[in-house]
Structure 1
Amino acid sequence: MPDVSRRTLLAASGALVPVAARAQVFPDRPVRMLVGFPPGGVTDIVGRVVAEGMSRSLGQPVVVENRPGAAGNIASQAVARAAPDGYTLLLTTNASHGANPALYANPGYDAVRDFSPIALLATVTNVLVVHPSVPVRTVQELVALSRAQPGTMNFASASTGAAGHLVGEMFKSRTGADITHVPYRGAAPAQADVTAGRVQMMFGTLQTVLEPVRTGQLRALAVTSRERIPEMPDVPTLAEAVIPGFSADAWFALMGPARMPEPIVGRLYDAVRAALSDATLKERLTSQGVVIDVAGPAELGRFVEAELTKWGEAVRVSGAKAD
């Protein structure tokens, strides 16, 4: 039989292999996990820790590939267009699957239709901090002061449309606080100006503000998580303080392209659960202020739809737009 005919028949027979049979041998080569942010940040750290644990469970390397750009849109586009075979995955966040579809006129993907949910991985809280010169000790006092001195209080963020900006807009709309957004080119300069007292407040991630709070350079008034956090047990949640039911954490999840076979999704979810049950790997994340919060495909799908509504509303309220 000619080689071309043999290859054609082999390809055809492979196409007829049942999904369950293909899932039993999955994976038989390395898996790529695309991360839409540069190396070194918390998103990259979460991706690499989870990838390491999944590699052990799957018996094949899970290789992290950083594809930064447009707050996660570049990586999301690549995964949305990939083959739904389980070998190209996305570490997604509340940016690409929360705010970006409202923030960008055309992000290049549909956050629901173009993806297969696999697992929610973890969350990181945001912290409302003020400079110590601001004469308040509670969120209620902050809101009252901003109303008493309209137009005088500002809050910093990494950029227009960044999580710190949008959480601030949620806070404004839900409390009536009179605060004005001041965008920066990155979280570091934003925090530097708040620490120096040039801007009164910001919503910063736990990792970035924890040390300044501990040293007294900043004062923490509330956290955006559903529950208080061990690192700041005396700091109330915004839900406790002024906005019942409120939460606005950063989050991380694993997704693949749409129409991935259920057995492969299940195999990947099991690998995630195994990875985040490992005590050593959990410690590496919790030491960075990351809260392990694993949920399966169906729950993640519902969660993303709710997050798209929440962050999308914050974008609309803010009037923010991205190029």
Structure 2
Amino acid sequence: MFAASAAVFVIAAAAPAARAAWPEHAVKVIVSLPPGSGADTTARFISKYLSQELGQPFVVENRPGANSFIAARAVAESAADGYTMFVASNSPMVTNAAVFKKRPYDPVKDFSPVASLARFPMVLVVPASSPYKTLQDLVTAAKQAPGKLNYASGTPTYQVAMERFHDRNGIRGNPIQYKGTSPAINDTAGGNVDYSIAEVSAVMPLVHAGKLRPLAVASDTRIKELPQMPTVSEAGTKGFEAYAWTGVFFPANTPPAIVDKVSALVRKTMNSADGVAFIDNLGGTVFTGTPAQLRDFQVKEIEATRKIVKAANIPVE
């Protein structure tokens, strides 16, 4: 009897343990921008739905600063086990690849793409007290005083967009660098710089407060937040568009089953009535895609941004 029991014990001990279902505990969701940003609010929105669907908390952690290096590196160096997720904008995942020679991470090799989320059109703004009433007023003034007008650059992405606008119009401006979008936009509202560009959700509070004057929206069509405001193309710079976008990434080599599971849930959430309404309320549009589609889009965006940086002579650090 004892021997039989021992044999059973040996067999049981030798049997391989069953793989636990993911997730067994909380998932960390890292955002490289501060609370209240488009990436942050979108991260919190999808985290709520993922928590409900998967039965474990998805906890957002904001790690802003250093051109998103801090957050991106933290994710890239995390275990590829599905317990660290990155809700990132195009700044760390595209622009940094074009404007920084040395980075503590590789935006392509160090990450597994999951799904794109949304895109937000940029708006070109001036202080409410500015003499420039239209986009053409600004272009004319810049042509009359090459390199004399100052613009606020909150992130490398916005600087690239602004320099692309300059290049299209044959003008120059003097970039003033800020540590984030909020201080750049606030300084523009305060009249300390002549103009700036940022995504719609970042500028609208100060537009509503009467501190910023929008000149044009860098989207393909007019937007409901500014229905009377022309697009940049309508205002004279034909075909110019500029968007901030967000997407979800895991560390490289995260198991495909986890990546595909989260991708399907994220796309379902974003394309739901609640998801569309949420992004619409932020001034953006839902912009989803599979892991393969996000990777293809990201690589093409990096290539295009590098061409812009080279053509506009943006310094590469």
Q: Same fold (TM over 0.5)?
A: yes
Q: CA deviation at 1:70?
A: 2.2
In the alignment, which of 280, 288, 291 is matched to residue 285 of structure 2? 291
1:34 Cα deviation after fit? 1.7
> Does the 8 A contact of 1:175 with 1:242 survive in 2?
no
SS of residue paired to 2:80: coil
Among 104, 107, 111, the residue aligned to 1:111: 107
- 1:283–1:32 Cα change, 3 Å: same
CA distance in 2, matches of 1:309, 1:273: 26
Residues 116 and 255 in structure 1, CA contact (< 8 A), matched pair in contact too:
yes
Q: Once the 2 structures are TM-superposed, how far is the Cα of residue 272 of structure 1 from its aligned partner?
A: 0.6
Q: Contact between 1:99 and 1:315, CA under 8 Å: does it hold in 2?
A: no
Q: Does 2:198 align with 1:221?
A: no
How well do the aligned residues superpose, as a CA RMSD in angstroms? 3.0
Q: Does 1:91 align with 2:110?
A: no
**Alpha-carbon distance change, 133 to 280 in structure 1, aligned in 2, over 3 angstroms:** same
Alignment of 1:82 with 2:103, yes or no, is no
Query: In the alignment, which residue of structure 1 is the partner of 2:263?
Result: 269
Deviation at 1:198, TM superposition (A): 3.9
Mean CA deviation greater in 215-224 or 93-102: 215-224
**Distance of aligned partners of 1:74 and 1:150 in 2 relative to their CA distance in 1, 3 Å threshold:** closer
Q: Equivalent residue for 2:314?
A: 319
SS of equivalent residue, structure 1 residue 238: coil
Q: 178-187 or 85-94, which moves further after superposition?
A: 178-187
Between the aligned partners of 1:309 and 1:135, the Cα distance in structure 2 is 37
1:207 equivalent in structure 2:
201
Letter in 2 for 1:113: K
Q: What is the DSSP-based 3-state SS (H/G/I as helix, E as strand, rest coil) of the residue aligned with 1:220?
A: strand
Alignment partner, residue 56 of structure 1: 52
Residue deviations 1:136-186, cap 9 Å, x none?
Answer: 44433432332133344222223xx53332221111112212322223454
Query: Aligned pair in 2 of structure 1 residues 208, 92: CA closer, same or farther (>3 Å)?
Result: closer
> Is the CA contact 2:31–2:64 (under 8 Å) kept in the aligned structure 1?
yes
**2: distance between equivalents of 1:196 and 1:261?**
49
Residues 89/175 of structure 1: CA separation in 2 closer, same or farther (3 Å cut) = same
Unaligned runs of 5+ in 2: 1-5
Distance in 2 between the 1:167 and 1:88 partners?
30
Matches of 2:89 and 2:114 in 1, distance apart? 13
Which structure is larger by alpha-carbon Rg, 1 or 2? 2
Alpha-carbon deviation of 1:293?
1.8
Contact 1:57/1:275, CA 8 A, preserved across alignment:
no
Aligned-pair identity (%): 35
User: How many pairs were matched up?
Assistant: 309
What secondary structure sits across from 2:152 in the alignment? strand
**After superposition, what is the alpha-carbon deviation per residue over 1:220-251, rounded to whole angstroms, capped at 9, x for unaligned?**
22222333221012223334444444332111
CA positional deviation for 1:65: 2.6
CA pair 10-80 structure 1, distance change in 2 beyond 3 A: farther
Describe how 1:1-323 pairs up with structure 2 within 5 A: 9=14, 25-132=21-128, 134-158=130-154, 161-280=155-274, 282-316=276-310, 317-321=312-316
The whole-number CA distance in structure 2 between the counterparts of 1:198 and 1:83 is 44
Q: 1:10 to 1:27 in 2, by over 3 A?
A: farther
Separation (CA, whole Å) in 2 of partners of 1:255 and 1:27: 16
Call closer, same or farther: CA 1:185–1:93 in 2, change over 3 Å: closer
Shift of 1:96: 0.8
CA distance in 2, matches of 1:320, 1:9: 61
